[in-house]
Structure 1
Amino acid sequence: MHGNIFGEIFTLSTFGESHGPGLGGIIDGCPSGIPLDESMLQLELDRRKPGQGGIASTARQEADHVRILSGVFEGMTTGTPIGFTVENTDQRSRDYSKIKDVFRPGHADFTLNGKFGFRDYRGGGRSSGRETVSRVAGGAVAQELLRSEGIAIFAYTVELGGIAADILDFEGAQDRPYFSPDPKAPALWEERIKDVKSQGDTLGGVVEVRATSVPVGLGEPVFGKLDARLAHALMSVGAVKGVEIGSGMQAARSLGSENNDAIGPEGFLSNNSGGVLGGISSGQDIVARAYIKPIPSISREQQTVTTHGEPTRINIGGRHDIAAIPRINPVLKAMMALTIADLLLLDRRLGVRA
């Protein structure tokens, strides 16, 4: 397993840090003849860039303009590696100089230092949420591949700060604040964010990701299960602490007669399985939920230690989101797209489908 490479057939290799010159990636295995240009990647990056979360967003301003370096000619993929870069333009490394010798609670400072004996303290380096820029750009390419197969991916917020959405209009959610599937939820979430922000604290939430028109048969029995691959993809996003497929944890509290999806002449009568049976897609919507932890950078004093093990207290400065939602939504959407694109091409390599 390579820590900076995702996928087997359709692969994404990423590079870059929060406070370096920029970030980028290389996509390999993308077939030729897929319509693609920078505007398609930019659309997804604009959904992730700073400022998309209203009052929940960081003050850091990044245009996140993407540049495609290779693998595209006359608006079509060529079948060769697709290289892209996104420049960092508004990093303020000086904001982190006062904490370079202190471990921030909830961050990867302690573990990165333990693994490598050295760390980039400027915003967390590779462990920063800014690393996801490369995932979103790569996922945008995967989405164009899937679009050519009639497959669409949606990511929408079903809970923020403990307040759940009551309506599941996932298509309409793409044009609402916080990618809300419920028209009434954003106003309630805004009030919750204002209250928590005034206390110098942060919020978590739950994002549901859905793939529609997925064919039957994606995924491999035993160790290559679709749901296992998808859980790995979503859990690889730094803020995600739990993943459910279909009815998820509720399945453990249900009877078999309640959780089984009955089948009629026209297909399945429910979708508790989340579109996956035996690790293989059933032809129903693939449905997963990601549980997002609160942003660890809070404006309240916390107990910690220095890199020398001395006790101290810290109040983290800098510019940070109050919640990873909604900026994490396009990241999770990208990870599902990358997973399904990879499995689709794996089936073709194995000769399972044309």
Structure 2
Amino acid sequence: MASLSIENLYKSYGNVDVLKGINLEIEDGGFLVLVGPSGCGKSTLLNTIAGLEEVTSGEIRIGDKSVAGLPPSKRDIAMVFQSYALYPNMTVAQNISFGMEVRKVPKEQREAAIKRVADMLQIGELLNRKPGQLSGGQRQRVAMGRALVRDPQVFFFDEPLSNLDAKLRVDMRTEIKRLHKRMGTTIVYVTHDQIEALTLASKIAVLKDGYLQQFGTPAEIYDNPVNMFVADFMGSPSMNLVPASVKKEGEAIAVTLQDASGADFDLPVSDPGSLGDFVGKPVVLGIRPEALTDPHGADRTSDKVVERQCMVDVVEPAGSDTFAILHLGGKQAIARMRANAAVNAGESATVAFDMAKVVFFDPATTERIR
């Protein structure tokens, strides 16, 4: 395994810039997830790191070695593709060992490697089957096994779970996380699924239109988004982004929101930071659904919970939670409440706002107000 460093990376196709000054670094044994909407450049970034695409400019280092200009075979990497890319006429064992055969690895070593990864991935009983006899999850395990026998410095996963059904995606996500913990390998993982990113990563890189929007731990990305795009993209349900205005009474700062009827109500801001520069101006208040809840579901360790009356538009029971759709500032907002919260559609309910978990954005620039 090895660290990975990317410095000022650009990639263009003719006059079209696809990657625009990417800077990233992941430590030995780290799990880097590249996430973003379709067309953001994440797969192109993965391909440039792997050597499948040439960079226009910039530096890529695996460990302490620059890999500029090196083909994939010289970068000591292994890839797991979305399509599995298994040979249909070969057995599972032959698929796993094919790369070793090409490299003239002795038969005894090949058999030992097959057994090692088969035990690790619990596919020992599948070794004599062909891909057409396997389920999607089994094929994915075989594709992972083929990469694991390489024992490379870095593993690359290109949307490996996108072809699986919802339950199997969850199961395989757990399997990949368990595998990473057991082996301590460095992994670069591409997905458009932000839940995969949050649950798997030690570091997340959020991309949009070829630009790196934010790079940090899952907690940093989720709790402290740098702009409205990251706030809206990361999390399910995503962060509520509510139009508001800033007011000052004496030394106190508050934000004013509108309820469903258009009436104003204020929320105090105990730690305004730079928000004082926006007095009399519009801002966007960001609050996660779990910080907008029923009074009994609010964080009991927080001393900044404020209760207000809000009209409930729609109630969505979801087993362990109840989601209440409110209208704040002329926009829909989602409150995550307890399963047995006493809320009804068309009625007013007491809603707790945890102001310790609120963030603010400049609507003109969409950037976070610090």
Q: Which band: TM-score by shorter chain?
A: under 0.3
- Report the TM-score, using the length of structure 1 for normalisation: 0.24
Instruction: Report the structure, 1 or 2, having the larger strand content.
Output: 2
The structure with the larger Rg is 2
- Report the TM-score, using the length of structure 2 for normalisation: 0.24
RCO comparison, higher one (Cα < 8 Å, 6+): 1
